[in-house]
Amino acid sequence: MKKTALVFIMFLATLSIYGQDIIGTWNGVLSVQGTTLRVDFNISSTDDGYTSTMDSPDQSAYGIPVTSTKFKEKELTITVTDLGIVYKGKLNKDNIIEGTFTQMGQAFEMNLTKKKEE
Domain boundaries of the chain, sorted by first residue: 23-114
pLDDT tens figures, 39-93: 999 999 999 999 999 999 999 999 999 999 999 999 999 999 999 999 999 999 9
Residue 26 contacts residue 114 (beta carbons within 8 Å): yes
Residue 91 contacts residue 78 (beta carbons within 8 Å): no
According to the CATH classification, is domain 23-114 in 2.20.25? no
Residue 84 contacts residue 93 (beta carbons within 8 Å): no
pTM recorded for the entire structure: 0.81
Count of C-beta atoms within a 10 Å radius of residue 109: 12
